Structures are given as C-alpha cells and as structure tokens.
C-alpha cells in the first residue's frame, strides 16, 4: 500500500512540474495578442491637425520674425541629436528620442540653431510633463542648442522674437556668406566689363566712351569644293496639252 501511495505522489509531482514548465515556455508559433490585431482595423486612422491654435500663432510669429530661416514644426529629438550606441538605443528612444519639440529653427544648410517650445503656464503643468520637459531642456543644453520657452497664453511679438533669436544665429553661415559675396562680386565685375552692355557704359563723359570696331568676318571656304562653273542645260520643252 505504501508503494502505490509513493507512486501516486511521484506521478502527481511529475504532472505538476510538466504543467509549470509548459506555462513558462510559450509555443514557438505563438503570437503576441497585439500581433493578431490588424493595424488599420484595430486602430482606424484619422487625419488631424499638427499644430494647436497657440502653436499656429507662434509659427506665424516665427515666419515673420525670421525671414530666410527654415522653421520646422513638431520635430522628434532623434532627428537632430545623435547619441552613442554603446547602450540600448531603444531605451534612449523611449526616454527622450521620440519626444518632439514644437519648432526647430535652422539655417540655410538645415543646421539647427535654436529651438522654440510653446508650453502652458507652470500652474497647468503636471509633474510627469515637467519631468519630460526637464529632460528635453537638459538634452538641448548638452548639445549647445539655445532653447526659447514661450508661454502659450502670452506669445512674444514679432520684434521681441526677432531680437531674442537673430543676433546670435545668422541664417547663413559665415563661410557660405563669404563665398556667396565673393561670387557675387566676381559676377558683378564680369558684368561691368561687358563692353556690349549699354547700361554699363559711362555716358557722363562722351570722350571716355569706348568705341569698338567690328571687323568683317573671315571668308569661308565651306563651298569651295563645289563646282561653280555653268553647266549646259537642255533647252526647255513646251508642254503639250
């Protein structure tokens, strides 16, 4: 009787262990619950506006205040900040990389020169949102990108926005501006030396007007190989009706 009792306990223990192992190890072809849901059926898409009313007003202010600059809206931080890949890039994306800033101001080479964030008043900011904004602020400070925080209830004027951003960040880098100025100067000099342009001549003193004599074109021998002697053509015949 003791043998049957011990045998039953052993069988029950084996079944229990097999059941526990089966629960811990999913089947190879098992799919996660989210993978079985169709993307469009489970989350039907709907087009929406990118900017809120306060953000649209801020965008208009930036366009008027910063002519010549590229102004991009709702840009993820991972688009203009690079980080080393020695740690998990997915974890960095979860923490900060997928966060968007409201407006990115770039020069003509698309290099970021400043960031403008339109935020609600401090009284309306939750602790979770404040922690996220603090991470964004620290990241921009680490890469030396100026951050301008605007209150959505009291946006600055066009003049104030221009005064706070333009003096420190030109729309065209110095090296490109110098090359462009040199090219324009060279083009202007070449244009000034064009003797055939009447607008560039000095007509104040007629004695100084340059007179250009145009010589006759050189004779061409293109048709010299053709026979230019008259040929004996047959007399014309009268057509009969």
User: Dihedral of CA 117/118/123/124: which sign?
Assistant: negative
Residue 112 is predicted with a pLDDT of 93
Token pair, residue 37, equals: 């849901």
Distance CA 201, CA 190 (A): 13
- How many domains is the chain partitioned into structurally? 1
146: in domain: yes
Residue 11 is predicted with a pLDDT of 73
88: in domain: yes
Residue 212 is predicted with a pLDDT of 44
**Cα atoms found within 13 Å of the Cα of residue 70, Cβ hemisphere only:** 11
Distance CA 58, CA 183 (A): 36
Residue 185 is predicted with a pLDDT of 63
Residue 96 is predicted with a pLDDT of 87
36: in domain: no
127: in domain: yes
Residue 124 is predicted with a pLDDT of 87
Q: For the chain of 241 residues, list the mean pLDDT of each consecutive stretch of 10.
A: 69 76 61 71 90 94 93 93 89 88 93 93 87 92 94 94 82 71 62 49 46 46 44 54 51
Residue 216 is predicted with a pLDDT of 47
User: Dihedral of CA 108/112/114/117: which sign?
Assistant: positive
Token pair, residue 89, equals: 């890039």
Residue 13 is predicted with a pLDDT of 76
Name the residue among 123, 129, 120 with its Cα closest to residue 153.
120
DSSP the chain: -HHHHHHHHHHHHHHHHHHHHHHHS--TT---GGGGS-HHHHS------SS-HHHHHHHHHHHHH-TTSEEEEEEEGGGT----SSS-HHHHIIIIIT-EEEEEEE-TT--EEEEEEEE--GGG--HHHHHHHHHHHHHHHHTT--EEEEETTBPPPHHHHHHHHGGGS-SS-HHHHHHHHHHHHHHHHHHHT-TT-GGGS--SSGGGPPP-PPPPPPPP-TTTTS--S---PPPPPPPP-
Token pair, residue 175, equals: 């090296």
140: in domain: yes
100: in domain: yes
Name the residue among 14, 13, 17, 15 with its Cα closest to residue 25.
17
Residue 83 buriedness (CB in 10 A; 0-12 / 13-18 / 19+) = middle
Which residues form the domain of 84? 53-174
Distance CA 183, CA 189 (A): 10
169: in domain: yes
16: in domain: no
Give me the CATH number covering residue 58.
Answer: 3.40.1350
Residue for token pair 């221009």: 162
């Amino acid at each position: 009787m003791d043998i049957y009792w011990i045998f039953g306990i052993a069988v029950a223990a084996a079944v229990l262990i097999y059941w526990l192992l089966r629960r811990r190890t999913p089947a190879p072809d098992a799919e996660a619950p989210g993978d079985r849901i169709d993307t469009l059926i489970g989350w039907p898409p709907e087009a929406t506006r990118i900017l809120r009313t306060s953000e649209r007003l801020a965008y208009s202010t930036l366009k008027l205040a910063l002519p010549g600059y590229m102004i991009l809206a709702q840009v993820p931080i991972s688009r203009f900040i690079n980080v080393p890949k020695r740690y998990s890039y997915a974890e960095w994306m979860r923490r900060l990389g997928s966060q968007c800033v409201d407006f990115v101001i770039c020069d003509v080479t698309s290099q970021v020169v400043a960031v403008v964030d339109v935020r609600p008043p401090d009284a309306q900011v939750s602790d979770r949102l404040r922690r996220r904004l603090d991470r964004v602020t620290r990241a921009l400070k680490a890469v030396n990108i100026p951050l301008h925080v605007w209150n959505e209830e009291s946006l600055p004027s066009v003049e104030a926005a221009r005064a706070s951003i333009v003096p420190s960040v030109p729309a065209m880098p110095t090296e490109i501006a110098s090359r462009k100025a040199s090219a324009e100067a060279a083009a202007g000099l070449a244009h000034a030396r064009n003797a055939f342009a009447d607008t560039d001549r000095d007509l104040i003193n007629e004695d100084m007007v340059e007179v250009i004599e145009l010589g006759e074109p050189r004779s061409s021998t293109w048709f010299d190989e053709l026979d230019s002697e008259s040929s004996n053509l047959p007399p014309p015949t009268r057509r009969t009706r």
